Amino acid sequence: MIDKAQLDRLCINTLRTLSIDAVQKAQSGHPGTPMDAAPTIYCLWQRFLRYDPEDPNWPDRDRFVLSVGHASALLYSLLYLCGVKAASPSYEKPDQLAVTLDDIKGFRQAGSRCTGHPEYGWTSGVETTTGPLGQGVATSVGMAIAQRWLSATYNRPGYDLFDHNVYALCGDGDMMEGISSEAASLAGHLKLSNLCWIYDDNHITIEGSTNITFTEDVAARFLGYGWNVVRVSDANDLEMLTRGYQTFHNTHDRPTLIIVQSHIGYGAPHKQDTREAHGEPLGAEEARLAKASYGWDPDAQFYIPDGVTTHFKERLGRRGATLRAAWENLFAAYRQQYPDLADQIDRMQCRDLPDGWDSALPTFPADVKGMATRDSSGKVLNAIAEKLPWLLGGAADLAPSTKTHLSFEPAGGFQAPGQEGDYRGRNFHFGLREHAMCAIANGLSLSKLRPYASSFFIFTDYCRAAVRLSAMMELPVIYVWTHDSVSLGEDGPTHQPIEQFASFRAMPGMILLRPADANEVVAAWRVIMQIKDRPVSLVLTRQAVVTLDRTKYAPASGVSRGAYVLADAPDHRPDVLLLATGSEVSLCIAAYEQLQSERIKARVISMPSWELFESQSREYRDSVLPPEITARVAVEEASTFGWERYIGFDGTILGLHTFGLSAPLKVVAQHFGFEPAHVVAAAREQMARHATKQ
């Protein structure tokens, strides 16, 4: 009869050997961290985690984030042994296992659920895509914030619907990346006592011992952030680990960092250079020696001893099923007493909008003086947020400038109780932490809230990795980027975006929207709010732009199709096409009026979103950009890269080939030629050039 301690060791070593075999068979991957961290994660899942393998999307489950995404073999082994069920549209059958043994055998191979790094939406049980170090821990802060907000907003006496914790396994690399410092600092400020980072302190990175680069006192750093710090001196001591997790559960005023001392590639004592155990397969002989050190048959491959899966079911599985059933009964009673709140929760989980969400959207009268699109966006955002309780967010210390503050009562500020606000607040103050802000927004979205994050467009360079992951995970995060061009003026080249438009348009899954005036802003927000599976970057001006007269020009509803004919020749047979986005559309309108006075037939096309336009039918695209009309001018205060697809190599692109200029707006416009006369001259030159070819 095997005793409890022996069964624990057997389960831990099964996690290790499955990971070793997966990496070895693939001849690719990282076996070291799965070997040394297996006891740490086994203890968490078996003894503490609120998680039901039968329903990995249960709203009040604990979240486990594998920030050390290179240790993915450990997570896949765990998901398989725990019997986690498929719960993602990407699976053919919903009742199959999230990860099968065949998937593990196909680790890092095409079609396997066991990809090189964990991918959200592809493998059930993966709470977020990880791999770029620091992203997982930063995203976990967003998940912890979401739990606090959900609890404060929806829990009622006797109904603790949202009471889960968030755990993240991280390593030396995570601790070195700047994003983790940003996120940890904010988590400490917010006193997120539902957040636990588990630091696998093994002192190894790809280049060797951390002594060559990383000798700071991590514990002291986190104490300075306002965290509770717990040390576990031996990763293989389950009772010491248990006390560490229990300390986290008993801490109610701050997040917890558990520092677990481990040895990379534990069980592979023959490796002369532990870097190899971290970053590449052990090799056949070292794999045999590691297995032998665990008391394993060294020649057994993907071996699951009797009793292992049963043990996971009896501990994690039984506990999770009991907790989920109790939660479902609680929610059923809650639904009877608080039907309106329950309806909000239901819609949130499905990413559906409440009825009448758009009933208060403003319309803007024609105005030559106009307003900045950041200003009109702020008005629209507030109108929507009043109708959509789970729309929330903020800026990286720039909300007054990006106009993203929710000003209605009782929006409030999200802060730890006792500060200026509470956990019900919907205005987030991220501080000067652009990178963490966007990762946190991912965590909020993964928790089914509808977050927005905002900064100046140029500062997307600080947070691109997190933005890219939102696109990869198909999360409907709303990004509001302002100060969109050289027309912001005196701040100069350091603040004037040039290549960012091309960069974001090149990102798979990202929709970029650059509206031309206040009513296009309204139409853009209509589009944004109905998107469930892609992030959107809404790019806005600081300077005022004309609010176009929609009785004279086409309605702004054309924004939903990405590009539309705003102004046309009287007979709808133009001789030249003028294409533009954002503030440059009004520049083209001014040129159009001049050309029209000269009896030159022109068409102005507003192109707020290339991505939406490309999704339209060929017939519609040709109706906007008739192939036979080759005289074309594109105008955008940014890099010209990419415009060739719409104007051809013989077209004229009025854009930028250098960085910007520090000067007043009008001087900048004159310097770079963003004036109606320049557009008119380009149109004439295009017509003359193409006339000679006919």
Report the pLDDT averaged over residues 162-167: 98
Please report where in the chains the tokens 């995404």 appear, as a residue. Answer: 69
- The answer to whether residues 688 and 644 touch, using CB atoms and an 8 Å cutoff, is no
Alpha carbon distances (Å) from 252 to 36, 153, 188, 361, 416: 29, 19, 12, 42, 12
**How far is 216 from 223, CA to CA, in rounded Å?**
13
Task: Select from 295, 324, 353 the last residue of a domain.
Answer: 324
Report the pLDDT averaged over residues 159-183: 97
Same domain (yes/no): 116, 261: yes
**pLDDT band at residue 270 using 50, 70 and 90 as cut-offs:** very low
- The answer to whether residues 74 and 13 touch, using CB atoms and an 8 Å cutoff, is no
pLDDT greater than 70 at residue 266: no
Task: Select from 546, 580, 600 the last residue of a domain.
Answer: 546
Amino acid type, 325: A
Q: What is the structure's pLDDT at 692?
A: 67
Report the pLDDT averaged over residues 203-227: 88
**How far is 340 from 519, CA to CA, in rounded Å?**
32
**How far is 382 from 385, CA to CA, in rounded Å?**
5
Same domain (yes/no): 72, 158: yes
Q: How far, rounded to the nearest angstrom, does the alpha carbon of residue 318 sit from its chain's CA centroid?
A: 33
* pLDDT tens digits, one per residue of 279-335: 678 899 999 999 999 999 999 999 999 999 999 999 999 999 999 999 999 999 999
* pLDDT tens digits, one per residue of 449-502: 999 999 999 999 999 999 999 999 999 999 999 999 999 999 999 999 999 999
Start-to-end Cα distance in the chain: 92
**Would you say residue 347 lies in a domain?**
no
Q: What is the structure's pLDDT at 272?
A: 41
Residues whose CB falls within 8 Å of the CB of residue 99, separated by 6 or more in sequence, listed in order: 76, 79, 80, 84, 113, 114, 123, 125
Average pLDDT, the chain: 95
Cβ-based burial of 273 (10 A; exposed 0-12, middle 13-18, buried ≥19): exposed
Same domain (yes/no): 506, 634: no
Token pair for residue 404?
């993203």
Same domain (yes/no): 115, 11: yes
**Would you say residue 355 lies in a domain?**
no
Same domain (yes/no): 541, 570: no
Same domain (yes/no): 403, 271: no
**How far is 373 from 379, CA to CA, in rounded Å?**
10
φ, ψ dihedrals at 386, nearest 5°: -65, -25
**pLDDT band at residue 274 using 50, 70 and 90 as cut-offs:** very low
**Would you say residue 341 lies in a domain?**
no
Same domain (yes/no): 281, 156: yes
- The answer to whether residues 275 and 208 touch, using CB atoms and an 8 Å cutoff, is yes
Please report where in the chains the tokens 């059958």 appear, as a residue. Answer: 93
Find residue 195's DSSP bridge partners: 166
Residue ranges with strand state E in 364-461: 367-372, 391-395, 427-429, 450-456
**Would you say residue 362 lies in a domain?**
no
**Would you say residue 346 lies in a domain?**
no
Same domain (yes/no): 489, 460: yes
Lowest mean pLDDT among 255-264, 276-285, 295-304, 626-635: 276-285
Report the pLDDT averaged over residues 384-398: 98
Q: What is the structure's pLDDT at 3?
A: 85
Q: What is the structure's pLDDT at 264?
A: 64
- The answer to whether residues 601 and 573 touch, using CB atoms and an 8 Å cutoff, is yes
Q: What is the structure's pLDDT at 129?
A: 98
Q: Write out the DSSP string of 232-281.
A: ES-TT-HHHHHHHHHHHHT--SS-EEEEEE--TTTT-TT-S-HHHHHHS-
* pLDDT tens digits, one per residue of 360-389: 999 999 999 999 999 999 999 999 999 999
226 Rama sector, left if φ>0, alpha if ψ -120 to 50, beta otherwise: left
Report the pLDDT averaged over residues 184-204: 95
**Would you say residue 360 lies in a domain?**
no
* pLDDT tens digits, one per residue of 647-663: 999 999 999 999 999 99
Q: What is the structure's pLDDT at 271?
A: 46
**Would you say residue 342 lies in a domain?**
no
Q: What is the structure's pLDDT at 276?
A: 42
φ, ψ dihedrals at 597, nearest 5°: -65, -20
φ, ψ dihedrals at 512, nearest 5°: -105, 130
Amino acid type, 389: P
Same domain (yes/no): 542, 570: no
pLDDT greater than 70 at residue 629: yes
pLDDT greater than 50 at residue 347: yes
Which CATH number is 647's domain given?
A: 3.40.50.920
Amino acid type, 333: A
* pLDDT tens digits, one per residue of 73-129: 999 999 999 999 999 888 887 789 999 999 999 999 999 999 999 999 999 999 999
Higher pLDDT among residues 275 and 387, named by residue: 387
Q: What is the structure's pLDDT at 184?
A: 98
**pLDDT band at residue 198 using 50, 70 and 90 as cut-offs:** very high
Same domain (yes/no): 661, 520: no
Same domain (yes/no): 154, 214: yes
**Would you say residue 343 lies in a domain?**
no
- Domain total in the chain: 3
Report the pLDDT averaged over residues 36-42: 97
Q: What is the structure's pLDDT at 210?
A: 78
Higher pLDDT among residues 196 and 273, named by residue: 196
Higher pLDDT among residues 676 and 419, named by residue: 676
Q: What is the pTM of this model?
A: 0.96
Same domain (yes/no): 594, 534: no
Dihedral sign for Cα 395, 397, 403, 407, please: positive
pLDDT greater than 90 at residue 179: yes
**pLDDT band at residue 263 using 50, 70 and 90 as cut-offs:** confident
What percentage of the chain carries pLDDT values higher than 90? 91
Which CATH number is 111's domain given?
A: 3.40.50.970
Please report where in the chains the tokens 């770079």 appear, as a residue. Answer: 672
Task: Select from 485, 512, 546 the last residue of a domain.
Answer: 546
- The answer to whether residues 496 and 660 touch, using CB atoms and an 8 Å cutoff, is yes
Helix, strand, coil % in the chain, rounded to nearest 5: 45, 15, 40
**How far is 593 from 587, CA to CA, in rounded Å?**
10
Q: Look at residues 312, 266, 256 and name the one whose alpha carbon lies nearest to residue 290.
A: 266
Neighbours of 508 (CB within 10 A): 9
| Domain that residue 309 falls in | 4-324
Q: Among all residues, which ones are annotated catalytic?
A: 434
